[in-house]
Structure 1
Amino acid sequence: MGIAVGCWRTAPERPVVSPDKIDLWRFSLALPEVQTDQLKSLLTDDEIARAGRLLLKEKQQQFICARARIRQILSRYLHCEPSAIAFVYAEQGKPGLRGVAGVDFNLAHSGRWGVLAVGQGQVGVDIEGLDHTLDYHLLAQRYFSSTERTLLEAASLIRQLRIFYRLWTQKEAWLKMQGGGFSSAGQTTGADEFSRHFYLTRGYAAAVTFSAPVAIINKYDFS
């Protein structure tokens, strides 16, 4: 049986996690400065310091927005104030919720967009803006397995860029679910087992992976 994937729709106020579904939350990172300043009040001193270490103001604002959105979204599941959420970090840096079991999440951001995946089991998500000048063959030679390179090379030239991004986002989402990232040439993954590509918006590729079968992937707009 296939996975039912909905369209982007209004976010619920009181979502719940369950073993048969994944929730995807889409939000814009391109906010007016006054709105970013308001979101900053939800962050901890450490998060504000991390934002301040970013050299570009645009990157600072995107970091603040993403961290605040994580807190706002997760607070709907946990029925608490966004500022009350505390994070812990695994050895390779993947964040989790301190004192909360059975809720996993993963953030991806690219360009003007961010996406948060939330599930009961482990989840990973990746989004990438399509760059038509990218030397994707070089990256494929370095990071793709022989099977992935064969899939890429079998596609027509007009489709290869999109196929590359589909394979890349699927691989990256799986690695993020595991708590790591690209670390060796030709690295293989179990990405095909439990994964799904999804539509984010025009000009982007996106994929989500999960550690156990699910029947539903919900897509929510958060603004």
Structure 2
Amino acid sequence: MTRLRVWKIHLDRPSGPGWWRSLSDTERERARRLGSVRERHRFTVAHAALRAILGEVCGVRAARLAFGAEDGGRPYLALPQGRAAPDFNLSHSEEWALVAVAPPGSRVGVDVERIREDLDCLAMAGSMYQPEEVDRLRAADPAGCRTGYFRLWTAKEAYVKTVGVGLAGLRNVLVHEESTAHGTVLSSSSPPGAALPVRWLDVAPGYAAAVVTAAGAS
């Protein structure tokens, strides 16, 4: 694999044959703990699709894939016989999921969010975003403010998932809107991080999504 790829998965599709069996015992237990049949179904589809994608990329049966976790909880793929594994990330929100896979040696984070109408976006931005980002949202009309809030959120979450600092680091991420050779870029003040490019994705009406890559993805 030589380049970044992103797959879009509709989670309300019927389950494929063998999808439940392809999950690990841990994944099946997580699915069982979810509160509704719809949530369990969407979780199963998302994680079975992730396994199918990674299995195809790596040439390994989906059910035989093994995963580990970094100290901060970020998952990684553990391939047998010392093979270099691609980096990956999964995000899902209501009926849509995204799977991003980047070449070995790269890092990737992806996020998709349903644009909610019941959220006080300016109040949330005031506690979670950088002052200049809040100013940009205040200057927009109501629809632009709401869309802009979720657009920023997906970029920030994709960034922290890429660098592996978790959601606690989201407040420190600043989205620079000015044009550069790489488009829009993000950086973090704590812990200090290199500026990384972000690309927003068109998933479906009423959703925002973004992908961030580092160290060699093309």
TM-score computed with the length of structure 2 as normaliser = 0.82
The gaps in structure 1 that reach 5 residues or longer are 1-16, 216-223
Distance 2:68 2:217 in 1: 26
CA contact (8 A) 2:122 2:138 kept: no
How does 1:14-93 map onto structure 2 within 5 Å? 17-18=1-2, 21-32=3-14, 35=15, 38-93=18-73
Specify which of 149, 155, 158 is matched with residue 164 of structure 1: 149
Supply the AA of the counterpart residue of 2:36: L
Specify which of 196, 200, 204 is matched with residue 197 of structure 1: 200
CA contact (8 A) 1:141 1:186 kept: no
Q: 2:209 matched to 1:209?
A: no
Q: Which has the higher contact order (CA 8 A, sep 6+)?
A: 1
CA contact (8 A) 1:130 1:165 kept: yes
Distance 1:87 1:132 in 2: 36
Specify which of 69, 72, 76 is matched with residue 96 of structure 1: 76
The gaps in structure 2 that reach 5 residues or longer are 175-185, 188-194
Partner of 1:111: 94
CA contact (8 A) 1:23 1:118 kept: yes
CA contact (8 A) 1:170 1:197 kept: yes
Kindly tell me the number of residue pairs found equivalent between the two proteins.
Answer: 195
Q: CA distance change for structure 1 residues 156 and 175 in 2, over 3 Å: closer, same or farther?
A: same
CA contact (8 A) 2:102 2:217 kept: no
Partner of 2:107: 122
Q: Deviations over 1:40-93 (max 9, x none)?
A: 010122221121122222211111111111110001111121111100111121
Helix, strand or coil: the match of 2:117?
Answer: coil
CA contact (8 A) 1:127 1:207 kept: yes
Q: CA deviation at 1:213?
A: 6.3
Percent pairwise identity: 31
Helix, strand or coil: the match of 1:194?
Answer: strand
Specify which of 111, 117, 140 is matched with residue 155 of structure 1: 140
Helix, strand or coil: the match of 2:22?
Answer: coil
TM-score computed with the length of structure 1 as normaliser = 0.80
- Runs (4 or more) in structure 1 with deviation over 6 Å come to none
Q: CA deviation at 1:199?
A: 0.6
